[in-house]
């Protein structure tokens, strides 16, 4: 597997882990000293970041994270680059239909290769825009 394919696999594993609420998947692709930064938050260390999985389960009915493409510069056992993604968050409706909060994301990523493969050392997410729309049941006519 090429290094770029392995970096993409790490990003896809991170996305699947978020959607499945699977901390083991995140542990497989995050370094112990991982830092994840985004609008209004900065979380350092693997254990603290694994707590984000619990937050996702509490805050959203479901999520779907899609990895679109990655540009990376690889130098030996380190890499940095940008991962473009979409994150969909289903929010329970209080007095109406559930809403879908969609983020267009550009992760500024840093990776390090160790004995098991490429792992993230830092992910900084920039949200280019957010879209809110109602979620309709499958087969709904409205």
- What would the pLDDT profile of 58-107 be if each residue is shown by its tens digit? 999 999 999 999 999 999 999 999 999 999 999 998 888 999 999 999 99
Q: Cα–Cα distance between 135 and 116 in angstroms, integer? A: 40
Is 64 exposed, middle or buried (CB count within 10 Å of its CB: 0-12, 13-18, 19+)? middle
- What would the pLDDT profile of 13-70 be if each residue is shown by its tens digit? 999 999 999 999 999 999 999 999 999 999 999 999 999 999 999 999 999 999 999 9
- What would the pLDDT profile of 108-135 be if each residue is shown by its tens digit? 999 999 988 999 999 999 999 999 999 9
Look up residue 75 and give its two tokens. Answer: 């130098």
What CA–CA distances, in Å, run from 41 to 44, 65, 75? 10, 19, 29
Q: pLDDT at position 139, please?
A: 63
137 band by pLDDT with thresholds 50, 70 and 90? confident
Question: CB–CB of 120/111 below 8 Å?
Answer: yes
Of the candidates 78, 80, 60, the one whose C-alpha atom is nearest the C-alpha of residue 70 is 80
Q: pLDDT at position 48, please?
A: 97
Dihedral through CA 76, CA 33, CA 12, CA 65, nearest 10?
Answer: -140
């Amino acid at each position: 597997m090429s290094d770029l394919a392995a970096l993409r696999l790490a990003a896809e594993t991170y996305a699947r882990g978020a959607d499945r609420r699977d901390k083991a998947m995140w542990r497989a692709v995050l370094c112990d000293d991982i830092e994840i930064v985004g609008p209004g938050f900065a979380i350092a260390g693997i254990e603290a970041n694994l707590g984000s999985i619990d937050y996702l389960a509490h805050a959203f009915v479901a999520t779907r994270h899609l990895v679109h493409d990655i540009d990376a510069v690889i130098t030996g056992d380190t890499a940095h680059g940008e991962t473009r993604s979409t994150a969909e968050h289903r929010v329970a409706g209080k007095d109406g239909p559930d809403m879908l909060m969609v983020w267009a994301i550009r992760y500024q990523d840093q990776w390090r290769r160790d004995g098991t493969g490429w792992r993230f050392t830092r992910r900084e997410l920039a949200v280019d825009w957010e879209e809110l729309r109602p979620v309709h049941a499958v087969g709904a006519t409205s």
